[in-house]
Amino acid sequence: MKAPISTSIAIAIGLLVLFGYFIPIDGLMQLREILLGWGVILAAVALLVGVANLVYSHVRKLRDGGVSRANSIVLIVSLGLTLAIVGWFGPTHSYSMWIFNNIQLPIEASLMAILAVILAYASIRLLQRRLNLLSIVFVVSALVVLISTAPIFGVEVPGLNEFRLWVIQVPAAAGARGILLGVGLGITATALRILLGADRPFGG
């Protein structure tokens, strides 16, 4: 086992939190709350480390040269300006909100619009790449839901809306629940492997 002390501490804390969730003993439940609180604080500190890592990687890109130097300059200047304005005036001040409403929001909305085009294109490409029954069902279902939600030229096809509701409520919901069952078992298995010390998906 690599790093046995830190691994043992991680397993012990994991088990305490797990049993604190199931077994209603006051001391255990309080300990669980404290440990989860520490986790939240550490995650917040890690966010700051993430920002530092982002800046460092762009400073390195700037220093090393390359095709996307302009992007790195824009990122560092924008980050510095936003940090200064929001730090000085506060996050709810009109200057801070102006940045959010006039820069962040339009950019993200534009990317969302691009996403719609990319997804339409990806659906067509899917038929070229994997022409099988599942792909055809996927594309036809997407078209049915799209056309019945936003009818072309306002013309509603009789029965299409009912068919859309049936698709969403029966086959789509059943499929999603099946996938979620597999995902839930996968989550539990991953957590148990770590708690048993059989897997350590990070360094140390």
Partner 1 sequence: MTLAGIIGLIFVLFFAGLIIVFTFTSRKLQKSYLREIPAFMKLRNAVGLVVEAGTRLHLSLGRGEIIGPESSVGLVGLSALARIGHTTANSDRSPVATSGTGPLGILSQDTFGSISRSIGAEFDPLNGRVSGLTPFSYAAGVLSVINDENVGVNILIGNFGSEVALITEAGERANSLTVAGTDNITAQAILYASAQEPLIGEETYASGAYLGAGSSHIASLRAQDLLRWVLISIILIGAILKLAGVL
Nearer to partner 1, 54 or 157 (CB): 54
Nearer to partner 1, 85 or 139 (CB): 139
Angle of the 133-149 helix axis to the 160-167 helix axis, nearest 10: 130
- Nearest-angstrom CA–CA distance, 95 and 102: 10
- Nearest-angstrom CA–CA distance, 105 and 48: 23
At CA 147, angle to CA 138 and CA 114, rounded to 5?
75
Q: How far is the CB of 198 from partner 1 (least distance, A)?
A: 4
Q: To which residue do tokens 């708690």 refer?
A: 195
Q: How far is the CB of 93 from partner 1 (least distance, A)?
A: 20
Q: How far is the CB of 125 from partner 1 (least distance, A)?
A: 8
Residues that bind partner 1 (CB under 8 A): 2, 18, 22-24, 36, 39-40, 42-43, 45-51, 53-54, 56-57, 60, 66-68, 71, 104, 107-108, 111-112, 114-115, 118-119, 122-123, 125-126, 129, 138, 176, 178-183, 185-196, 198-199, 201-204
Q: To which residue do tokens 């069902």 refer?
A: 137
